[in-house]
Amino acid sequence: MSEQRLVQRCSAFVALTARMSARRQLRVCWEGLPRTNAGRRALRCSRLRLYAIGDGHHSSETGLPGIPACTRRAASVHRETRETDVRVQLNIDGTGVCRVRTGIPFLDHMLHQVSAHGLVDLEVHAVGDYEIDDHHTNEDVGIAFGMALAQAVGEKRGIQRFGHFVAPLDEALVQVVMDFSGRGYLNYELQIPTERVGSYDTQLVREFFAAIASNAQLTLHIRQLAGLNSHHIIEATFKAFARALRMACEIDPRRQHQIPSSKGALTDQQALRSVDGA
């Protein structure tokens, strides 16, 4: 069996056994692989991957072609100020498991869109100074989410980097385009016709995405192509954001271990390192 084929089988086993206990997962993987060095390496990869999924430990690269590094692309951020206390946990290789409670019901509804359509496992717990208004809490959830996203993609090795999607919701149509460029930039062109959706101030949508863009160092363009209803326009935006995010974060099988940049750097640390090395 070729190494490529082993790798495919190994990945298939990991997917197949995702709901089994860790011990049973390992047995199924091992039973399906030949007792060769390549088979052992493939198993080691699946074992590392299962281990990583199981308890959040980071494991190293496999060195096998065709299988991405067995690191868990997850992050956890706790950010506390005099205005808010926000905890965000996310896993960008998730399945859409979502537990969010921000104290802002409409924002919770939107975070569910990000999780469900971006296949991001997401846990958000926030409390804030709602007696003033929702501004601080909304923004700080965006900041913590952006920070967690930056942590989860890490040095961005192997990611697609660019993502885009156009999402409809009835009459609304919104395009989101993003680039994990290492530079925070937001171009926001929504024209939301009402000041509020329920109790949610619609100006906060811009604040939320601005916080994500600057903290995840993401170039983000949001463009409304059509739309009359405020709820529809905002929800279509979050759906498009989710799908674009999923696309941008996916591992490119043709360059799994490379930084997707012609200058070889997408973070300040990488750029500084290349200056050090020069």
Residues that bind Mn ion (rule: CB under 5 A) add up to a total of 1
In the block, tokens 């190494």 appear at 3
Contact segment (CB under 5 A) with Mn ion among 63-71, 160-168, 235-243, 259-267 equals 235-243
Is 227 a residue that touches Mn ion (CB under 5 A)?
no
Report the residue from 235, 241, 245, 267 that binds Mn ion according to the rule CB under 5 A.
235
Six-digit token string for 171:
């009459």
Is 134 a residue that touches Mn ion (CB under 5 A)?
no
Is 179 a residue that touches Mn ion (CB under 5 A)?
no
Nearer to Mn ion, 175 or 230 (CB): 230
Is 174 a residue that touches Mn ion (CB under 5 A)?
no
Q: Min. distance of Cβ 112 from Mn ion in angstroms?
A: 9
CA distance 146 to 154: 12
**What number of CA atoms fall less than 13 Å from residue 112's CA on the CB side?**
11
What's the burial of 19, exposed, middle or buried (CB within 10 Å: 0-12/13-18/19+)? exposed
Please list the helix, strand and coil fractions of the chain in percent, rounded to the nearest 5, in that order: 40, 20, 35
Contact segment (CB under 5 A) with Mn ion among 1-9, 120-128, 232-240, 244-252 equals 232-240
Nearer to Mn ion, 207 or 235 (CB): 235
Nearer to Mn ion, 140 or 235 (CB): 235
Q: Min. distance of Cβ 269 from Mn ion in angstroms?
A: 39
DSSP 182-214: SS-EEEEE---SSSEETTEETTHHHHHHHHHHH
Return the closest-CA partner of residue 150 out of 177, 184, 188, 127.
184
Geometric angle at alpha carbon 194, from 143 and 187, rounded to 5°? 45
Nearer to Mn ion, 13 or 209 (CB): 209
Report which residue's Cβ sits closest to Mn ion.
Answer: 235
Residues in contact with Mn ion by the rule CB under 5 A: 235
